[in-house]
Amino acid sequence: MGRFNQSRAPIYEALEEFRRDRIVPFDVPGHKRGRGNPELAALLGQQCVGIDVNSMKSLDNLCHPVSVIREAEEMAAEAFGAAYAFLMVGGTTSSVQSMVLSACKKGDKIILPRNVHRSVINALVLNGAIPIYVNPDMDSRLGIALGMKVSQVERTIQEHPDAVAVLVNNPTYYGICSDLRSIVCMAHAHGMKVLVDEAHGTHFYFGEKMPLSAMEAGADMAAVSMHKSGGSLTQSSFLLTGIGMNPGYVRQIINLTQTTSASYLLLASLDISRRNLALRGKEQFAKVISLAEYAREEINRIGGYYAYTAELINGDSIFDFDRTKLTVNTLGIGLAGIEVYDLLRDEYDIQMELGDIANVLAYLSIGDRERDMERLIGALVEIRRKYGRDNTGMYTQEYIEPKVAVSPQNAFYAEKESLPLSETEGRICSEFVMCYPPGIPILAPGEEITAQILEYITYAREKGCSMTGPEDPAIERLNVLKEEWM
């Protein structure tokens, strides 16, 4: 038994008491419990707008919590096995960036895989830390980057003993896990902090027979996207820390960028969702795994598709696999993942999490149903029959190893010029280019633009990938560093 009764939800309880008190509002928000914006109240319901309130004595303050929010954070820390937990309302982007800003300062080196979410590199743009990339292996069949090998991390640490931190994805968007415990032990032995992007790993803390969680592995910080697999409202997240971090300093870092007007809808959703997982998580995630395993078996019977799982584990670059992830490689039916993604949405009213060059991903969580899975399986059968074709000449590689020439911060703020895409080969990019989702940059500020990268951008755009990042929304031009600046 822990210190706290995990069946409680202190923020939710305080909001219910606030509702009963019928307080007269002479504060923000200006809609005044929905009365000033009836269309909003009709859309969201009185139950929702009635508790869209501002910080006040009875409801605590996220910037400096002393009562119900503080209690909710302490209960979350216990549920996740962390020393401290911070409620975050700026998405897991804010959690990831707070990790990096807490561990690194301008000029510090941080070791990380290049297949990170853009939020990591954005943090480097903000604070001037220097990325030292571990380039992961590629699975050419699946077209995805794998985890970091322990030997790769060890070599990088030896080459850069002055690095202050190591960042690890646990798991990647596609469910791939590195040997986190070994990486933590190695980094700590060299005095380096370990930061873990667990945007897609909330369930590791509550399910059985799951990959190792960051806190269990002894990591110093972890960004946990509760809204993805944990059931809270979109944009809500947790930042977890181990015993080696100063929570007061981390709070100061968070308050540099996090809003002073936190949404109590988001805070309450974190509180309630933590309670739900603490009480019922094992049972719920066992059902998720069962549904995913059934779906993989049925999809692989169709032919042409490959829904992969733990058979990929090799003890190194794929140390473990998240079996809740239902990623389907589509190249065998002659269609890019993004093409199958579009067909599922446009022809079958099925919204997948992502479609890339080679895969589609169905993000399974506690709210999925068997009948919906049957609908997806049936649609994939029809797509293969109606649209399948020869796959000769299809592009497969999602990840391209970068050539880093300038730090992200220096490149982002340097003097730049805009050039047509076709004229940028050999120049240094000063902005991001990525397919979203997954939001892993194809190009980041400070990286050399190569012929292979240009080919990939053109191919992905033609296939219909949602391309984001550059100033030019059509991605016909890119900002590059002026040659004299170099």
What is the rounded distance in angstroms from the CA atom of residue 161 to the CA atom of residue 6?
42
- Once rounded to an integer, what is the mean pLDDT over residues 335-348? 96
What is the rounded distance in angstroms from the CA atom of residue 92 to the CA atom of residue 99?
10
Phi, psi values for residue 292, rounded to 5°: -65, -45
Least confident of 83-92, 166-175, 219-228, 427-436: 427-436
> Which pLDDT does position 393 carry in this prediction?
73
CB contact at 8 A, 355 and 342? yes
User: 76-88: per-residue pLDDT in tens?
Assistant: 999 999 999 999 9
List helix spans (H) across 128-245: 150-159, 180-189, 214-217, 226-229
> Which pLDDT does position 23 carry in this prediction?
85
Tokens of 251: 């709070």
240 vs 464 pLDDT, higher one: 240
What is the rounded distance in angstroms from the CA atom of residue 53 to the CA atom of residue 28?
7
Q: What percent of the chain has pLDDT over 70?
A: 98
User: 397-433: per-residue pLDDT in tens?
Assistant: 656 778 889 999 999 999 999 999 999 999 999 999 9
Closest CA to 174 of 306, 350, 344: 306
Please report which confidence band the pLDDT of residue 483 belongs to, taking 50, 70 and 90 as the band edges. confident
Strand order in the sheet with 433-435: 441-443, 433-435, 467-468
> DSSP letters of 176-204?
EE--HHHHHHHHHHTT-EEEEEETT-GGG
Phi, psi values for residue 349, rounded to 5°: 55, 40
Q: Is residue 1 pLDDT above 80, yes or no?
A: no
> Which pLDDT does position 170 carry in this prediction?
97
Least confident of 13-27, 251-265, 332-346, 452-466: 452-466
Q: How many CB atoms lie within 10 A of CB 313?
A: 15
Least confident of 74-83, 316-325, 443-452: 443-452
What is the rounded distance in angstroms from the CA atom of residue 304 to the CA atom of residue 325?
19
> Which pLDDT does position 438 carry in this prediction?
77
> Which pLDDT does position 436 carry in this prediction?
75
Least confident of 44-58, 100-114, 447-461: 447-461
Q: Which domains does the chain have, with CATH numbers?
A: 56-278 (3.40.640.10), 282-387 (3.90.1150.10), 408-481 (3.90.105.10)
What is the rounded distance in angstroms from the CA atom of residue 60 to the CA atom of residue 63?
9
- Once rounded to an integer, what is the mean pLDDT over residues 354-376? 95
User: 374-395: per-residue pLDDT in tens?
Assistant: 999 999 999 999 999 988 777 6
> Which pLDDT does position 486 carry in this prediction?
54
Cα end-to-end distance, the chain, whole Å: 60
User: 235-261: per-residue pLDDT in tens?
Assistant: 999 999 999 999 999 999 999 999 999
Least confident of 41-45, 142-146, 309-313, 460-464: 460-464
What is the rounded distance in angstroms from the CA atom of residue 477 to the CA atom of residue 466?
16
CB contact at 8 A, 7 and 279? yes
The tokens 């939710």 sit on which residue? 12
> Which pLDDT does position 402 carry in this prediction?
81
> Which pLDDT does position 400 carry in this prediction?
73
Strands 109-113 and 130-134: parallel
